[in-house]
């Protein structure tokens, strides 16, 4: 009986074994996941996204990828992805840099005209850097696009002499082979910068000290080619830097405002260093209120600082300062009114600075309208100015000195023989006239000369444009993309109102350059005529 039972159990087990096997317990509990290979498309996509979107665009250090929390995040995001190490990412960064450098060189090799901006600055550790940015226009069958790219941001060791700046700049130009197509160099007005580009690209007037035998081995045709290439490179001053110097000159010559600004600077510093005073200030004005610190190299940071303190109630601020035992930083009624006057006077300068810091649009077209509008703003009688009339005079004197070339070109000043005035390049006039937002609207209200001379200025601008157009291809319309620079009262209030009224009335784009230019200039004249009767220029 027992033997029979065992045999039946054996037969039953044999039948089970012949059936398809079920997963074993060990197989069921095995949670191991097969990872992507390094050549898998998903692995590549995640790694490239980490590099381009996280490390480069978000400016996160490479060491971030080795943090335990970040690796855990990746395992939750995709358990099949093997986190990349820092060394691999460094190698990919170098490879990507070289790839983009080659792509940029290819783009620049098929471009006929480029301009560059150059600057030297120091970080908080007093390490010097030389930055060079290139700007050009990329054309295709239907549109043109403004392009900007960083060529170099190199460590600059040692003294910042003109010769050393010139050597590094030339090396960068040679690396990207842009010397032959380089039209304009924009830099600040520092003496070493001016001299550096005189050394790099000397003009005929600045070559008096060179050996005349230097070019003796050239034919006449080659001589003319070299001369044209050397004369072609022109250095343009940074408008924002020149405006910074104008405001600096005005404040330097106006001693009456210095004590108030000194108090304001100490108040801002106290707000950022004393927790006790910060608590008292927040209790009275709220945590959202604050007074930003001013930066010496950014004059508009002082303007923002003054605006911030004026948003506080004067009496309440004095009470907070007295409670915190800093009564010496309280503003008297006279000092408070002086700060209000300062804002009224400098507000248009702040608008001009902000306007010319756009990244997606050409801003050189705003230089002439800005300078002439600022001069008109300072020229007007200001009955509300009681304490800072000296500041108004100093600002206007400095404005006319540092932008003398513009005033000479519009016949509001006399040229001086043998001296090249700053901002005398006619490109500023042409850029303003070809900008639909400005056109020739600035001539009538802001060129403070007789009507006949205004007509001469307008005619000269047209002739300059037509002269250039005769040597260029027909223009291609830009896409309808603009940076919002504000509306309402301010430096260019009349222009905004005129633009709003003229929506949809922009002339077409004929194929012949001279026809297009005539239409643009005729439209500009008509708009200016209407604006002169209907739209007063309002500056506050």
pLDDT of residue 128: 87
Residue predicted with more confidence, 202 or 160 = 160
Whether 508 is covered by a domain: the verdict is: no
Average pLDDT over residues 126-138: 88
- 276 and 376 co-located in one domain: yes
- 115 and 149 co-located in one domain: yes
- Cα distance between residue 498 and residue 432, in whole Å: 16
Q: Best-predicted range by mean pLDDT among 4-8, 49-53, 470-474?
A: 49-53
| Structural domain count of the chain | 3
- 452 and 413 co-located in one domain: yes
Host H or E run for residue 225: helix 220-232
- In this structure, is the dihedral angle defined by the CA atoms of residues 170, 173, 176 and 181, taken in order, positive or negative? negative
Q: Which of 472, 506, 527 lies at the terminal end of a domain, its last residue?
A: 472
Average pLDDT over residues 298-319: 89
Whether 539 is covered by a domain: the verdict is: no
pLDDT of residue 11: 65
- 290 and 183 co-located in one domain: no
Neighbours of 287 (CB within 10 A): 9
pLDDT of residue 383: 73
Whether 83 is covered by a domain: the verdict is: yes
- Cα distance between residue 179 and residue 163, in whole Å: 17
Examine the pLDDT at 69 and tell me if it is beyond 90. yes
pLDDT of residue 509: 34
Contact present, 403 and 371 (Cβ < 8 Å): yes
Q: Which of 472, 503, 535 lies at the terminal end of a domain, its last residue?
A: 472
Whether 410 is covered by a domain: the verdict is: yes
DSSP result, 349-415: HHHHHHHTT-SSS--GGGHHHHHHHHHHHHHS--TT-SS-HHHHHHHHHHHHHHTHHHHHHTTSS--
- 69 and 152 co-located in one domain: no
Contact present, 311 and 270 (Cβ < 8 Å): no
- Cα distance between residue 92 and residue 51, in whole Å: 8
| Out of 256-260, 288-292, 295-299, 452-456, least confident range | 295-299
- 93 and 165 co-located in one domain: no
pLDDT of residue 409: 92
- 387 and 329 co-located in one domain: yes
Whether 309 is covered by a domain: the verdict is: yes
Provide the residue count of the chain. 540
- Cα distance between residue 473 and residue 60, in whole Å: 45
Domain assignment of residue 73, given as a range:
35-109
- 278 and 320 co-located in one domain: yes
Average pLDDT over residues 407-428: 86
Give the CA distances from residue 168 to residues 255, 324, 399, 430, 526, in Å, rounded to whole numbers and listed in that order: 41, 53, 33, 32, 49
- 371 and 468 co-located in one domain: yes
DSSP conformation class of 57: I
Q: Which of 109, 136, 163 lies at the terminal end of a domain, its last residue?
A: 109
pLDDT of residue 524: 45
Whether 150 is covered by a domain: the verdict is: yes
Whether 263 is covered by a domain: the verdict is: yes
- 268 and 405 co-located in one domain: yes
Return phi, psi of residue 140, to 5°. -140, -165
Contact present, 525 and 440 (Cβ < 8 Å): yes
pLDDT of residue 493: 61
pLDDT of residue 477: 53
Neighbours of 230 (CB within 10 A): 15
Assign residue 143 the CATH number of its domain. 3.30.420
- 142 and 83 co-located in one domain: no
- Cα distance between residue 262 and residue 248, in whole Å: 15
Contact present, 115 and 182 (Cβ < 8 Å): yes
Give the CA distances from residue 412 to residues 408, 461, 495, in Å, rounded to whole numbers and listed in that order: 6, 15, 22
From the list 55, 83, 89, the residue with the least C-alpha distance to 70 is 83
Whether 387 is covered by a domain: the verdict is: yes
- 273 and 390 co-located in one domain: yes
């Amino acid at each position: 009986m027992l033997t029979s039972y065992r045999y039946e159990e054996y037969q039953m087990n044999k039948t089970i074994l012949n059936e398809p096997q079920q997963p074993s317990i060990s197989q069921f509990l095995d949670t191991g996941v097969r990872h992507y290979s390094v050549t898998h498309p998903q692995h590549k996509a995640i790694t490239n996204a980490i590099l381009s979107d996280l490390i480069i665009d978000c400016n996160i250090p490479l060491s971030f990828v080795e943090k335990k929390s970040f690796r855990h995040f990746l395992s939750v995001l995709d358990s099949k992805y093997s986190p990349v190490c820092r060394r691999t990412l460094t190698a990919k960064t170098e490879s990507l840099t070289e790839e983009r450098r080659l792509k940029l060189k290819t783009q620049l090799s098929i471009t006929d005209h480029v301009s560059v901006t150059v600057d030297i600055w120091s970080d908080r550790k007093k390490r010097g850097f030389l930055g060079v940015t290139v700007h050009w226009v990329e054309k295709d069958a239907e549109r043109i696009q403004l392009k900007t790219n960083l060529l170099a941001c190199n460590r600059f060791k040692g003294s910042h002499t003109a010769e050393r700046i010139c050597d590094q700049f030339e090396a960068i130009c040679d690396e990207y082979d842009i010397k032959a197509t380089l039209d304009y160099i924009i830099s600040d007005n520092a003496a070493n910068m001016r001299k550096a580009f005189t050394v790099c690209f000397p003009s005929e007037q600045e070559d008096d000290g060179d050996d005349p035998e230097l070019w003796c081995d050239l034919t006449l045709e080659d001589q003319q080619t070299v001369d044209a290439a050397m004369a072609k490179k022109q250095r343009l001053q940074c408008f924002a830097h020149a405006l910074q110097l104008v405001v600096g000159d005005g404040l330097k010559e106006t001693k009456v405002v210095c004590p108030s600004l000194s108090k304001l600077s100490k108040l801002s510093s106290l707000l950022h260093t004393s927790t006790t005073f910060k608590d008292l200030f927040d209790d009275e004005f709220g945590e959202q209120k604050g007074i930003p610190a001013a930066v010496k190299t950014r004059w508009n940071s002082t303007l923002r600082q003054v605006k911030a303190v004026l948003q506080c109630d004067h009496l309440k601020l004095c009470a907070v300062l007295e409670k915190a035992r800093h009564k010496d930083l309280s503003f008297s009624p006279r000092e408070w009114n002086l700060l209000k006057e300062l804002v009224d006077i400098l507000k248009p300068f702040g608008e001009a600075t902000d306007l010319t810091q756009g990244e997606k649009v050409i801003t050189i077209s705003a230089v002439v309208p800005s300078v002439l509008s600022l001069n008109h703003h300072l020229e007007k009688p200001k009955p509300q100015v009681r304490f800072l009339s000296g500041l108004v005079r100093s600002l206007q004197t400095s404005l006319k000195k540092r932008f003398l070339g513009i005033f000479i070109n519009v016949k509001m000043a006399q040229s001086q023989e043998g001296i090249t005035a700053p901002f005398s390049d006619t490109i500023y006039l042409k850029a303003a006239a070809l900008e639909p937002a400005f056109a020739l609207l600035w001539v009538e209200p802001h060129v403070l000369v007789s009507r006949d001379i205004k007509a001469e200025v307008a005619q000269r601008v047209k002739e300059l444009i037509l002269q250039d157009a005769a040597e260029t291809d027909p223009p291609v319309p830009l896409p309808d993309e603009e940076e919002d620079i504000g509306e309402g009262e301010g430096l260019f209030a009349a222009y905004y109102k005129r633009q709003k009224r003229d929506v949809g009335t922009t002339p077409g784009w004929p194929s012949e350059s001279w026809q297009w230019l005539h239409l643009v200039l005729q439209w500009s004249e008509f708009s200016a005529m209407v604006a002169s009767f209907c739209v007063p220029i309002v500056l506050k």
